[in-house]
Amino acid sequence: QVQLVESGGGLVHSGDSLKLSCAASERTFFSYGMAWFRQAPGKEREFVAAINWSAGSTYYANSVKGRFTISKDNAKNTMSLQMNSLKPEDTAVYYCASQDRGFYSDPTLVDVYNTWGQGTQVTVSS
């Protein structure tokens, strides 16, 4: 089974930037669509951003539009999330997810994705 590994999390001050990366355990890994979700303590996992692997179409939650950018690197089979102007409310564990089976409807829904990483902690202090 393919595994996804997130990296790049850390502790930063409000207004700073971070770049998260998600790498697949297999070099030949293929995904129809990938996404970033986040989950803060005591809250449900929420959608952050998604990208269609073939077309490159992107989707963003309203809370991160204009601040976050999702992208992919076909050669390295990686996905990244550039986070700028970070706010304390962005503090959460960030997860990457993949839809590997061909079914891809609403990219903002948790149930669309079948493969998940373990998450990386992002903490933004005020």
Q: Tens-of-pLDDT digits for all 126 residues of the chain?
A: 789 999 999 999 999 999 999 998 887 788 899 999 999 999 999 999 999 988 889 999 999 999 999 999 888 889 999 999 999 999 999 999 999 888 778 999 999 999 999 999 999 999
The predicted structure's pLDDT at residue 51:
95
- What pLDDT was estimated at residue 105? 82
Tell me how far apart the alpha carbons of residues 46 and 64 are, in angstroms, rounded to a whole number.
Answer: 12
Contact 12, 126 (CB under 8 A): no
- Give CA–CA dist 37/75, Å, rounded: 24
**Residue 89: predicted pLDDT:** 97
